[in-house]
Amino acid sequence: MVQLLTFGTVFVLFFFASPLQSKAAAPDVGKGEYLLIAAGCIGCHTTKENFKKGALMSGGRALNTPFSIFNSPNITPDPTHGIGRWTEANFIEALRNGKSPKGEHYLPVFPYTSFSQMTNEDMRHLWAYMKTVPAIQTQNKPHEALLIFRLRFSLGPWKMINFKARTFVPQKNKGAQWNRGAYLVNALSHCGECHTPRNLMGGLKDGFHLSGTKGGPDSDTVPNITPHTTGISDWSDDDLDTLFTLGMLPDGDFVGGGMAEVVESTDRMTQEDREAIMIYLKSTPAIASNTK
């Protein structure tokens, strides 16, 4: 009897502590790296100077918006200037609800309004990778913003009007590729943050999803990417794939500015993910351009 109990105890301990069991539940660093690339985190959180030095995601990138200039923070694992003291729960709370570990609201220039739709699983993969990048001791720069845009307490009411935390829910009447494309465009790659016009409060305008705007980052005009005649209605799959891999437009010109950085991300995506994005973009409501 003693031998049977001992064997049973060992079996139970082996089963629940098996490396196969723990690997199945553990976040995947490789997937996290892919998610970081697809989300374009490096471009927004790295200055050109620091990019050349390899000091990726050390912050200081000036984001010039119609509402002021905001400097991106250091998101390396440095415990003083970065997110080295964060927990996984802190990270998920930032992405899902736009709140800091201290419970303060983040400015929506950090696109948690889109990242909120990411799955918990992907957030955990991303966090696992974030912990592996080199910690850079670069101090964060203060925002060059008007006082009204630096008052964190006003963000609570702003969120009540312009933001709702939610996880992406696949549509059952759509295929797997469509749903993957919708997830990439609306959650991970947050295309609507630049390609959708904003209201006077800085929230994304309802009913104008991806229809372009004159008030994009760095005062650039951001084009309509819906299947409208003023958008991409006459673009072929090859046209879109060439844009996503080479940055070349159907007329032979090349994209610049922020979109050139986006191409650095889409070029590193899998072909399957690029195709999923194409399928989704071509299925969205055709909306007249807001760039004129």
**pLDDT tens sequence across 46-73:** 998 998 889 999 999 998 887 788 899 9
pTM to 2 decimal places:
0.88
Cβ 276 vs Cβ 180: under 8 Å: yes
User: ∠201-232-278 over CA atoms, to 5°?
Assistant: 95
Q: How many CA atoms lie within 13 A of 193 on its CB side?
A: 26
Q: State which amino acid sits at residue 53.
A: K
pLDDT at 38: 96
pLDDT at 25: 62
Rg over CA atoms, the chain:
21
Place of tokens 């494309």: 181
What angle, 0 to 180 degrees and rounded to 10, lies between the N-to-C axes of helices 176-183 and 271-283? 90
pLDDT < 70 regions, the chain: 1-25, 145-151, 292
205: DSSP letter: P
Question: Alpha-carbon distance 36 to 175, whole Å?
Answer: 25
User: ∠169-174-175 over CA atoms, to 5°?
Assistant: 105
Q: Nearest 5°: phi and psi at 192?
A: -65, -20
Domain extents for the chain?
25-167, 171-292
pLDDT at 6: 41
pLDDT at 148: 64
Joined tokens for residue 140: 């964060």
Closest CA to 282 of 242, 239, 248, 232: 232
Strands 68-71 and 62-65, sheet pairing? antiparallel
pLDDT at 198: 92
Question: Alpha-carbon distance 124 to 96, whole Å?
Answer: 12
